Amino acid sequence: MGAAVIAGAVVLLLLGAAAPAFADDPPTLPPRAVPVPRGIAATPSGGSYEQLISYANDSARDLGAIQQEARDVAAERNETLAQISTLAALTQKPSAVRDRLEREALRLSATTKIPSASTVSPATREAADEMRTLRVELKQQYVALQADAVALAPYAVIVSPNGAWTTPALGELTQGFGRTTYQGEPARVYDGVYYAHFHEGIDIGADIYSPVVAAAPGRVVWVGHLPDGAMVVLIAHIGGLVSLYAHLDDRIAPPRVAAGDEVQQGQIIAAIGMTGMTTGPHLHFAVWLNGELIDPLSLLAP
The domains located in the chain, with CATH, are 3-156 (no CATH), 172-298 (2.70.70.10)
Q: What is the pLDDT of residue 114?
A: 66
Mean pLDDT score across all residues of the chain: 82
Note the Cα 50 to chain centre separation in Å: 25
pLDDT at 5 over 70: no
Q: What is the pLDDT of residues 39-60, one digit of tens each?
A: 344 567 777 899 999 999 999 9
Q: What is the pLDDT of residues 231-285, one digit of tens each?
A: 999 999 999 999 999 999 999 999 999 998 999 999 999 999 999 999 899 999 9
CA distance between the termini of the chain = 71
Instruction: Report in angstroms the alpha-carbon separations of 103 from 85, 111, 134, 167.
Output: 17, 14, 15, 65
242/247 Cα distance (integer angstroms): 17
162/25 Cα distance (integer angstroms): 42
For 9-13, 190-194, 234-238, which range has the lowest pLDDT when averaged over its residues?
9-13
Task: Print burial letters for 200-220: b (CB count within 10 Å at least 16), e (below 16).
Answer: bbbbbbbeeebbbbbbbbbbb
Which amino acid is located at 251 in the chain?
A: R
56/115 Cα distance (integer angstroms): 61
Q: What is the pLDDT of residues 89-129, one digit of tens each?
A: 777 776 666 666 676 777 677 776 666 666 667 777 777 77
User: Rg of the Cα trace of the chain?
Assistant: 29
Partners of residue 222 on adjacent β-strands: 234
Which amino acid is located at 196 in the chain?
A: A
| pTM, to two decimals | 0.72
